Structure 1
Amino acid sequence: MFGYLAAASLCAAAVLIMRLGPGLLATLPGLVSLFGDECGQPGGRLLGKEELTLRHGGPGSPGLYLAVLGRVFDVQKGVKHYGPGGPYSFFAGRDASRAYVTGDFTEKGLVDDVSELSPVQMLHLNNWLSFYQKNYEYVGKLIGRYYDENGNPTKALEDALTLIDIGLKLKEQRIDENKQFPPCNVESSSGSSRVWCSKHSGGIHRDWVGVPRRMYLAGSDGYRCVCVRASGPPSDQPDSAQHSDSGDLDNPTLKEYEDCNPHFDWCLLKV
C-alpha cells in the first residue's frame, strides 16, 4: 500500500506540473520515464465522468472507453463487443464495476458502487480488471468514487482493495481445504444424482480415494460433497500415534449421506 500511495503522490506531482505548463514535463530530465504510463500525458491522464461518457464509440464520439474501479481503458480494438450494438455496449463510456459481478445490466445496476459486494465477488471483479490490464490500453484514472481530482486513491478504493485482499486469502484457504477435502465427482440424470470419489476427483490428484460426505459451510445451511480420508490419522495431526484410524471422518463439519453405505466410495441420491 505504501508503494501504491507513493506512486499516486508522484502522479499528483505530474498533474501539478502539467497544469503549470504542459511543456515543462518534457523538459525536466527523467520525469517522463519516472511517471511512465500511470500518469504521463496522454497515457495516464485524469478524466471526468462527463468526458468518459462521451467515449461510447457511437457517431461523433471521440473514442471507446470504459472503466473498472476507476481505471480507464481504451477498448476500441474490441469495438465489436463494446461498440454500439455490441453485446457489451452497455459498459462503454462508464464505470459499471458492480455489473461485472452481479450481471444486472439495467441502468440501476450499471454503477460503480461495489461497497456491498463480498470478498469473493470482489475477487471476481479483480479478475476482470486484470483482463483489461492485459488486453487493452490503459488510459488513466476516472475522477470520482475511486480517485480524487488529483488522481489520489480514495477511501472507497482502499476499501475495495481490502476486500480483494480478503478474497485472495479466502481463495488460498479454499485451495488448502480442497487438498484435505477434495470435491466429489457428480453425475446427474432424471430423478437421481450420483456422487463418487476417485484418486483425482475435484482435480486433486492424491494416493487415496476416500468416501463421500456432506461438508457444511460455517454460518450457512448449505453444504458441498467432499471426499474424505477414511483411515489413518486426521490431517491436522499427521504424526499422532494415538488416533481412531478413521482419517478425517470425525471432522465436526461432516455428515453422512442418508440411505447410503458410509463405507462405499459412491452414493446414489434422489433429486
Structure 2
Amino acid sequence: MSGRFEPKEPVTLEPPKNDPITVEELAKANGADGGKCYVAIKGKVYDVTGKPMYQPGGSYHVFAGKDASRALGKTSTKPEDVTPDWQDLEEKEKETLNDWITFFSKRYNVVGVVAGATNME
C-alpha cells in the first residue's frame, strides 16, 4: 500500500509544523497573484505553493485556501463539498480521505494547523 502513494520524484520534506493558522489566513493562501497556496485536510495545513493544479485556473484550485476534507473524501471538486466536515462520510469515503492524507503527507510540507479546528482526529 505505501508504494502506491510514493511520489514519482523524490521529495525532501521539512518537519511538520503545528503553528496555528486562522481560517482567514488560510483563505488568503489561495495562490492568487503568485502568493502562498495552502490546502487543509482534517485541520492540517499543507503548502501546495507552486503546484499548477492548485493555482488559479488549475483543476484543484477549488481546494486552495480551504479545508477540503469533505470534498477529498467524496472525490468531488464541487465548491459546495469543500468543507472541513468529514465525520459523517461513509466508511469508504473516510478511507478515500485517509488515502488523500497519505498522498499529501508524502509530497507537501505541513505548515500548521487550522486554529480552532474541530475536524481533527
TM-score, normalised to structure 1, is 0.37
SS of structure 2 residue aligned to 1:37: coil
Residues 7-47 of structure 1 deviation map (CA, whole Å, 9 limit, x = unaligned): xxxxxxxxxxxxxxxxxxxxxxxxxxxxx934xxxx43110
Q: Does residue 37 in structure 1 map to residue 15 in structure 2?
A: yes
| CA distance, structure 2, for counterparts of residue 134 and residue 74 of structure 1 | 12
CA contact (8 A) 1:74 1:136 kept: yes
Q: Does residue 58 in structure 1 map to residue 21 in structure 2?
A: no
Instruction: Return the letter of the residue paired with 1:157.
Output: M
In the TM superposition, 1:69-108 aligns within 5 A as 69-78=42-51, 80-108=52-80
Return closer, same or farther for 1:120/1:106 CA change in 2, 3 Å cut-off.
closer
List gaps (5 residues or longer) in structure 2: 1-13
Equivalenced residue count is: 108
**Aligned sequence identity (%):** 33
Q: Give the C-alpha shift of residue 121 in structure 1.
A: 1.4
Residues 139-174 of structure 1 deviation map (CA, whole Å, 9 limit, x = unaligned): 11112333xxxxxxxxx433xxxxxxxxxxxxxxxx
| CA distance, structure 2, for counterparts of residue 157 and residue 59 of structure 1 | 30
Residues 86-120 of structure 1 deviation map (CA, whole Å, 9 limit, x = unaligned): 11100100001111122443332111101211222
TM-score, normalised to structure 2, is 0.79
Instruction: Return the letter of the residue paired with 1:71.
Output: K
CA-atom RMSD in angstroms: 1.9
Residues 252-271 of structure 1 deviation map (CA, whole Å, 9 limit, x = unaligned): xxxxxxxxxxxxxxxxxxxx
CA contact (8 A) 1:66 1:94 kept: yes
Paired residue for 2:20? 46
Which of 84, 87, 90 matches 1:118? 90
CA contact (8 A) 2:39 2:48 kept: yes
Larger relative contact order (Cα-Cα within 8 Å, sequence gap ≥ 6): 2
Paired residue for 2:120? 157
In the TM superposition, 1:11-30 aligns within 5 A as none
